[in-house]
Amino acid sequence: MYVIGLDVGTTGTKAVVVDRCGNTVGSGYREYALVSEGGKVTQSASDWWDAAVFAIREATKGVDTKSIAAMSLSTQAASMLCADRDGDAKSEVITWMDTRSSLEAEELSSAIGKEEVYKKSGWLPTPVLDAAKILWIKKNSPELFNTTEYFISTLEYMNMKLCGQCVIDPTNAAMRQMFDIQTGKWDADILDFIGIDESRLPRVLPIGAEVGTLTPFAAEALGLHTGVKVYNGAHDQYCASIGCGAVEAGDMLLATGTTWVVLGITDKLLYTDSHISPGIHAVPGRYGALASLVSAGSALNWYRSIIDGNFKLMDVEAEKRMESARDLFVLPYVCGAGFPHNRPDLRGAMIGLDKGHDRYDIARALMEGVAFEAATVLSLFKENGMDISTLMMTGGAARSRLWSEIVGYVTGCDIYRMNEPETCCVGAAMTAAVGCGLFKDYNECRSVMVKREKLILDDPAKREFYIEKGKKYALLSDALKKIV
């Protein structure tokens, strides 16, 4: 018996077919375009479906499709479109990177209250989430606003394509900024302010709830049978947490993409003065707490591009530079200083550079700077009651043993790296596997399907080295914020 995990991301869709032992027996991927113009960043919803068809057909080559029992989805959040009653698009997708509705986000904040919106949705008012976008459409495209039957995001669109049901989960609903995570319902105050009611939004079902089975149209398009069950998915980082086995209170995911995401598992909704974002996890009685580092993987990508380097060589050479880069510091705010600094205007700095340093000393110091930023975020989780001892790392930095080790020594945490890099897909596949009864719960499922490697971090001198360097880094970061 097999299950499918489908990850509908910002720039492409991935699919994996997984057997009951957690082995990936097939995979597929297709990219699609983003269209950027000023603060507008859009894409086509039909590209999501076309890519899903390609990815699933590619992943199921050589697989007995009659043995595929179920599927679930991991999706990007807060990429919204206007749709008719059948879920067909009436507009372009306004992606989560689109900032056209900045004024409307300010209006939402003034009308409802910044902290009240945070308490309800888990997120501060922002133009990248959907409440402000719908207000923008109401003002700027009134005919579209009035004729739209459903305002939907990625998960609902895909659920409608797959089985004809307009259904969302609590993680994606919260990131639409119209859902109250404390009551588990669409919020009447926010909806009244926007000027819509629940009939124009999807039903909210728990992660892992059965949504339906494939329609004849979807089954034929995907090359599957109509008996395949579809279980409700989740936001991609919540799926990644499942896929790396972070399902118990105290578990912590560190997803290291262009932006690094820290997602901790808690036993209650975690609200903080620094505005860590709480949410509802797939595991009953568990919650997520999420924070993002915007200048993380993006910083090393930027540096690699300007030196015309490659990551493998940078790793090999930077590994030799711990001592030579001892007094070199890079504050990696190339995209501004996000959480917890909340200084999008702040830019990075290099301190301690001398003529004896080379490009690989700088690369090492930059990796360390990002790790120090991650440690700062983790310290806020700890201050708010999370006992963090283990990090499950996924993404680009997790493929670098050096960077993973630096993170381990800087944070003092045990580091686990996943053997299967597509943890969003794996998490979706695990949701399907639990849903269709292959496993009784996520704990049993992770014991079989999550395959990971624990790094050996047994050098106390390196730990002491980074304790001392981390203290200096914190002083430099504080000083930069005071003078810029």
Name the token pair of 477: 């970061």
Query: Which CA distances in Å does 232 have to 145, 179, 378, 438?
Result: 27, 17, 30, 16
Could you tell me which of 132, 206, 223 has the C-alpha nearest to residue 435? 206
Is residue 375 left, alpha or beta, with left meaning phi > 0 and alpha meaning psi from -120 to 50? alpha
In order of their start, the domains of the chain are 2-237 (3.30.420.40), 245-418+451-484 (3.30.420.40)
Query: Which CA distances in Å does 160 have to 46, 87, 117, 152, 180?
Result: 12, 6, 29, 10, 23
Burial class (CB in 10 A: 0-12, 13-18, 19+), 457: middle
pLDDT at 392: 94
Q: How many CA atoms lie within 13 A of 302 on its CB side?
A: 16
Q: What is the pLDDT along the chain (484 residues), one digit of tens a residue?
A: 999 999 999 999 999 999 999 999 999 999 999 999 988 999 999 999 999 999 999 999 999 999 999 999 999 999 999 999 999 999 999 999 999 999 999 999 999 999 999 999 999 999 999 999 999 999 999 999 999 999 999 999 999 999 999 999 999 999 999 999 999 999 999 999 999 999 999 999 999 999 999 999 999 999 999 999 999 999 999 999 999 999 988 899 999 988 899 999 999 999 999 999 999 999 999 999 999 998 888 899 999 999 998 999 999 999 999 999 999 999 999 988 888 888 888 999 999 999 999 999 999 999 999 999 999 999 999 999 887 888 999 988 999 999 999 999 999 999 999 988 889 999 999 999 999 999 999 999 999 999 999 999 999 999 999 999 999 999 999 999 988 7
φ, ψ of residue 359 to 5 degrees: the values are: -60, -30
* DSSP secondary structure code for residue 89 in this structure: B
pLDDT at 390: 87
Could you tell me which of 117, 395, 134, 165 has the C-alpha nearest to residue 271? 117
pLDDT at 483: 87
pLDDT at 385: 87
Burial class (CB in 10 A: 0-12, 13-18, 19+), 209: middle
pLDDT at 447: 94
Give the E-state strand segments of 142-269 in sequence order.
Answer: 150-152, 167-168, 179-180, 185-186, 203-204, 210-213, 229-235, 252-256, 260-266
pLDDT at 2: 98
Distance of alpha carbon 11 from alpha carbon 97, whole angstroms = 12
pLDDT at 157: 98
φ, ψ of residue 391 to 5 degrees: the values are: -120, 130
